[in-house]
Every structure is written in structure tokens, then in C-alpha cells.
Amino acid sequence: MIGWSGTQKNVWILTGAQAIMMSLGSTVVFAGGIIGSELAPNESWATLPVASLVLGTATAVIPINLLMRKKGRRFVFMMVAFLSMLLTLFAAHAIVQASFFQFVMAVFLLGTVIAGVMQFRFAAIESVEEKDVPVAASTVLVGGIVAAVLGPEIALRGKNLLETPFAGSFVLLSILFTLALVVLSRYQNIPIPKQDATKEPKRSIKDFIKLSHFWLALAAGAIGYAIMTYVMTATPVSMNKMDGISLEATKHVIQSHVLAMYVPSLISGFLIKKLGIRRLIWIGIMLYVLTMAIALNSHHLYNYWFALILLGIGWNFLFLAGTVQLSKLYGPNEKFRIQALNDFVILSSQAIASLSAGWVVFNQGWEVLIWMVLPFLLILLGVLIRTKKSKAV
């Protein structure tokens, strides 16, 4: 895509690491609800493992950012890669022991890994010139294309590797993450400017809250991510456990969805340059509306398939637009606090959505679950309309 050099090579290093480590998320999304339905004492708790990954990420994101500020990004990236190797083995052990709560705890702790991986996009932005920020952010997300295929494939291939179903899947992940550790060892830290080296004073959180474009960035990221997680988490349970659609077909739907989340990154960075942030958010909202329409039409395999593909593309546009918008608002000495706040709000919203998805789909059904998306789309639309155009977009 772009011939970067020097510290700008960080973009490719982070893209490679993203490809490996985000397979954890797609593995848990694909297999977590199914494992949960087998181990949980109540079927309404089936999606708790998936939700616990989000909760763990939300819990870890602020400590991760504080540690990065003190020790640097490279130290933290190496640390989470090492942790991922150990914690996936813990998850495998919990499955072998048929301990639902140990498995939930293992996945919760793996949220620390995802919290670290979520900082890859910001690390990439810091490694390039301002004009290349949208492309750098989108390039890192391209790594998710590999993760989209790799995660569910590892889950399925490892399902019968050991005597206990799916335990082998997490053993395979542990082996894979050794490669991520090697890749991240090549990452170069970008020096953090000292407070007195910048002309602009460090602003408080209250100062950012007053900025309309801060709310736009926050809403695009948080609502876009929450809706995507809410529908995605419920999909394998609705398809496989409630509608009797095969595990193989369910795997393909989840793979297609995660591919749709990341394949647009090949062009979405350029789309932001061409169309602007506001227009990309408009398109993301419209794609979510189409997702609702298709999902409500039927429980047929292809309705799930097309709805989840549109859901993934909509997420990509909203998440990337929110990330780029946020990067335009903070200075070098403000980045860790604002990035941490942004991701904490996003992940907290995602956690609530993920936790509620299992209960809603089991107790209220797929149609009610989908209709509950609409009020949040209207909120995002309202924020977009109220945000005035400025040089920030």
C-alpha cells in the first residue's frame, strides 16, 4: 500500500501482529458461546465467556495505557504477547476441567491482550506523518483479514485435537502467539515529547468534553462497536443452538463477518481522505439500517450471512472514522489519557452489549434483539447532525 521506512515500518510490524493476535477475538466469538452453552449452569449464561473478553478488555485498557506512558509501547506489546501464550493455556485447562467459571476467568484475563492490541492503531498513527494517518490506521486493521479466517479455523481444527472439545483450539492459539512475540520484538518505540517541549498546555478531560467533535468520535466508536458486538455475539447461539444451522455454516458466517470488518480497511483510509469523516459515518449508519432490515426478514442462513457482512462493513467505517477523528483532537502529551478514555467508553459499551445479547436472544428472541439496535442508531444520527462541520473533519 505505502512504502514506509524507518520507524514507519512499525505500521507493517503492527499489521502482522494484529493478524496473529486478533485471531483470539474471532476464536472466542465463534467458539465462546458454544463452549458456554455446554459448560454454563444456565443457558442464558452461554454468551458470558464472550462478554467476559470484552469486560476484561474494558478493565485493562486504562492500566495498559498508563503502563505504556511509563514503560513505552514496546514493553507493553511484548508483555501482552507473552501473557497471551500463558492465558490461552489456562483457558484450555479450564475446558478440560469442565469449569465454566474458570473458563470465564481465563477469557476475562485474555481481555488484557485485546486491550494491548487495540493500541496498535494509535501506535501506527504515531509512526507516520499527519497526511498518512488515515492510511496507517486502516493498514493496521487490514491485519484483521487474516485473523478473520485464522480464528474460526483454529477453533474448528482444534475442536477435536484433544479429548475435550475445543481445548485443543486454545492450545493452538498459544503456539501461534509465540510468533506474535517474535514479530513485536521488531517494533521501535516512538519518543514521547516532554510536557515543556510542547507549546500547547495539556487540557483537562472537561476541556475535551466541551468539544462537539470529541463526542462524534466517541459516539461513532462506542455505538458502532456496541451494536456490532451485540448482534455478533448472539449470532452463533441463534444460528446453531436455536435455529439448528450447522456449526460449519455458522463458522463461515462468522468468518465472513470478521472479514467484512477488516477487508474494507484496504480502501477505507483513502475513503476518509476522499469523502471525509462525516460522510463515512453516514454510510456506516445506513449499512447498520440495512443489516437490521435483512436480519428481520428471515432466519434463513443467507439472511444471517448478508446481515453479518453488512454489519462488519458498517463497523469498519464507524470505528475508523471515530479513530481518525479522535487523533485530530489531542496533542502529544494528551494522547494516552484521551486514548484510554475513548477506549474505556467504547469497551464499556461493548461489554454491556455483549452481556445483554445472550439474555435477550434466549428470552426475547432474535427479532427483539435486532429492533433494540434502532434507538442507538438514532442517537448516533443525532450526534452527527448536531456536530457542525469544521476544519477538524
Q: What's the average model confidence in pLDDT over 359-372? A: 90
| Contact indicator for 384, 281 with CB cutoff of 8 Å | yes
Fold category of 6-188+205-386 in CATH = Growth Hormone; Chain: A; (1.20.1250)
Residue 268 has pLDDT above 70, yes or no: yes
What confidence tier does 5 reach under pLDDT thresholds 50, 70, 90? low
Answer yes or no: is pLDDT of 340 > 60: yes
What confidence tier does 393 reach under pLDDT thresholds 50, 70, 90? very low
The Cα–Cα gap between 20 and 14 comes to 10
Residue 392's pLDDT band (cuts 50, 70, 90): very low
Using the predicted structure, report yes or no on whether residue 100 has a pLDDT greater than 90: yes
**Would the pLDDT of 200 be above 60?**
no
Say whether pLDDT at 390 is over 60. Answer: no
Residue 183 has pLDDT above 70, yes or no: yes
Residue 135 has a pLDDT of 84
pLDDT bin (cut points 50, 70, 90) of residue 199 is low
Give the tens place of pLDDT for each residue, 279-290: 999 999 999 999
Given its phi and psi angles, is residue 276 left (phi above 0), alpha (psi -120 to 50 degrees) or beta? left
Q: Is 341 a residue whose pLDDT tops 80? A: yes
* pLDDT over threshold 60, residue 3: no
Mean pLDDT of the chain: 87
Q: How confident is the model over 166-179, as pLDDT tens digits?
A: 999 999 999 999 99
| pLDDT tens-digit series, residues 37-48 | 889 888 768 778
Rounded to 10 degrees, the C-alpha dihedral 127/133/136/137 comes to 110
pLDDT score of 195 more than 70:
no
Report the percent of the chain where pLDDT is more than 70. 94
Mean pLDDT of 2-24: 81
Alpha-carbon distance of 298 to 24, in angstroms, equals 30
Question: Mean pLDDT across the stretch 56-73?
Answer: 90
Model pLDDT, residue 128: 86
Question: What is each CA distance from 267 to 50, 262, 278, in whole angstroms?
Answer: 29, 10, 16
Give me the pLDDT at residue 196, please. 42
* For the chain, percent of residues with pLDDT exceeding 90: 46
Statement: residue 93 has pLDDT above 90: yes
- SS3 readout for the chain: CCCCCHHHHHHHHHHHHHHHHCHHHHHHHHHHHHHHHHHCCCHHHCCHHHHHHHHHHHHHHHHHHHHHHHHCHHHHHHHHHHHHHHHHHHHHHHHHCCCHHHHHHHHHHHHHHHHHHCCHHHHHHHCCCHHHHHHHHHHHHHHHHHHHHHHHHHHHHCCCCCCCCCHHHHHHHHHHHHHHHHHHCCCCCCCCCCHHHCCCCCCCHHHHHCCHHHHHHHHHHHHHHHHHHHHHHHHHHHHHHHCCCCHHHHHHHHHHHHHHHHCCHHHHHHHHHHHCHHHHHHHHHHHHHHHHHHHHHCCCHHHHHHHHHHHHHHHHHHHHHHHHHHHCCCCCCCHHHHHHHHHHHHHHHHHHHHHHHHHHHHHCCHHHHHHCCHHHHHHHHHHHHHCCCCCCC
Q: List, for residues 104-132, the tens digit of each pLDDT value.
A: 999 999 999 999 998 998 899 888 888 88
Confidence class of residue 192 from pLDDT cuts 50, 70 and 90?
A: low
